[in-house]
Amino acid sequence: MFLSVFDLYKIGIGPSSSHTMGPMTAGGQFLEELKSGQWPRPTGVKVDRLRVHLHGSLAFTGIGHATDRAVILGLCGLLPATVDPNEMDALLETVKQTKRISPEGHPSYRFDPATDLIMDRRTPLPGHANGMAFEAYDVDDRLLLRRIFYSIGGGFVVTEEELESAKTRTAPKAEVPVPFPFINAAQMMSMAKESGLSIAEMKRQNEEVFMSRDELNAGLDRIWSAMRSCIDRGLEQEGIMPGGLKVKRRARYLHDRLQEEWRQNRINPLLANDWLSVYAMAVNEENAAGGRVVTAPTNGAAGVVPAVLRYYLHFHDDADENGIRDFLLTSAAIGGVIKHNASISGAEVGCQGEVGSASAMAAAGLAAVLGGSPEQIENAAEIALEHHLGMTCDPVAGLVQVPCIERNALGAVKAVTAASLAVKGDGTHFVPLDACIETMRQTGVDMNERYKETSLGGLAVNVVEC
């Protein structure tokens, strides 16, 4: 099993990897199929109108997660990694006024957001909670093409056929061989012991099958640069976040207070926790505002890994760029194991799959750069994940704000605590990481759908929207 570090850490925009980045990517994939012409239709018939149906969690919380905007932007030919957040509003207004979409390389298509973007809350698609159907019609409104996509978390998008194939496959998918093809933590630990390599070194060798060392390092540096920039922007901004809840940004205010304490040499026993929290909140306030973020492994949990990395640079004198790279490689190895054996999607398993996974990844990365052995790194990931088990996904008003922003802060604090506990031990512990991951999967299966990013339970129905 190989999942690249760049699959888990993808540069995109907020507020949601599954509800914003995924639908935007799906729109682009549908355009590509339209353009290819590799689909059956009557001779001479051309596509005149597009329509999109959003189902399940995408329908229930789509407006709060900007799924409607993302679909339109995707059909306009824009991609999460390259879209300019400053240009989105103007393009969306043009589509609204003209009731047409004109992606580059395509003819202009009829598309009225008021009638052609349908939030279907009654009919869930069978494959996944985040299902969407894209349709193309001719000038006489005859259906020419219908394609179903599922946004399965972290910005990953699969077709209906790909999802079914993944569910029914009895043999592993044919892949390019990598030196260390671990599919679970037990295999990862066994390979580390046999090879004498660290988890980061094994992950690096796997990645270098597909790219040079220089390309890998440049890509890792680019990911951290995007994370760092997101923190910096979040620490500079003030005001009310969009969406209607009137939630104020707090990261800049908290940051200014910490800076003042720092200058005055005030004793603060919670200093490290305070910095962790403000870094995480800065990222997730940017995400909530639709800014540029990195999935880590999702947008809803995007603040945990950057916060712990920034903490590492802030409080550890020996921190350097090689440490940052090892942190990202180690955390990606853990994230890949979690995704392969359970889920990183809040719509599938609740927030334990988002912030819980992010905390486990960050704990493993920090344990690695603190000199932890593979056993201590696995222990750190297990501690962090275990203490997020059962966490629901219940965003108030479907917005990635309450409780999501503070939840990232606490996920970062738990990650550092888990890493510290693990590296002070000898790596032996009672609950294996694989058992914890399987428990998360089973808990997600048993969890009521109201607590899986539908905003139909939990805080989402018990907090009055102001």
Q: Please check the confidence at residue 171 and state whether its pLDDT lies above 50.
A: no
Q: What is the pLDDT of residue 266?
A: 78
**Model pLDDT for residues 298-310, shown as the tens digit of each residue:** 999 999 999 999 9
The Cα-based distances of 213 to 5, 220, 290, 330, 415 in angstroms read 14, 11, 33, 16, 29
| Residue 203 · residue 336 · CB < 8 Å | no
Confidence (pLDDT) at 465: 57
3-state secondary structure of 9: coil
Which residue do the tokens 């260390």 mark?
180
Q: In the predicted model, is pLDDT for residue 105 greater than 60?
A: yes
Closest among 244, 460, 433, 440 to 344, alpha carbons compared: 440
* Cα–Cα nearest to 308, from 390, 158, 411: 411
- Provide the whole-model pTM: 0.93
Task: Report the distance separating Cα 428 and Cα 421, nearest Å.
Answer: 12
pLDDT in tens, 177-220: 999 999 999 999 999 999 999 999 999 999 999 999 999 999 99
Per-residue pLDDT band at 56 (split at 50, 70, 90)? very high
Kindly list the distances between the CA atom of residue 323 and the CA atoms of 11, 220, 316, 383, in Å, as whole numbers in the listed order: 21, 11, 11, 22
Q: How much is the pLDDT for 345? A: 95
H and E: helices and strands count for the chain: 20, 9
Which has the higher per-residue pLDDT, 325 or 86?
A: 325
E strand residue ranges, 204-329 = 292-294
Give the per-residue pLDDT at 264. 84
What the chain holds in terms of domains, given with CATH numbers, is 17-168 (3.30.1330.90), 185-462 (1.10.4100)
Nearest-angstrom CA–CA distance, 171 and 417: 39
**Residue 395 contacts residue 404 (beta carbons within 8 Å):** yes
Distance CA 393, CA 229 (A): 27
* pLDDT of amino acid 170: 43
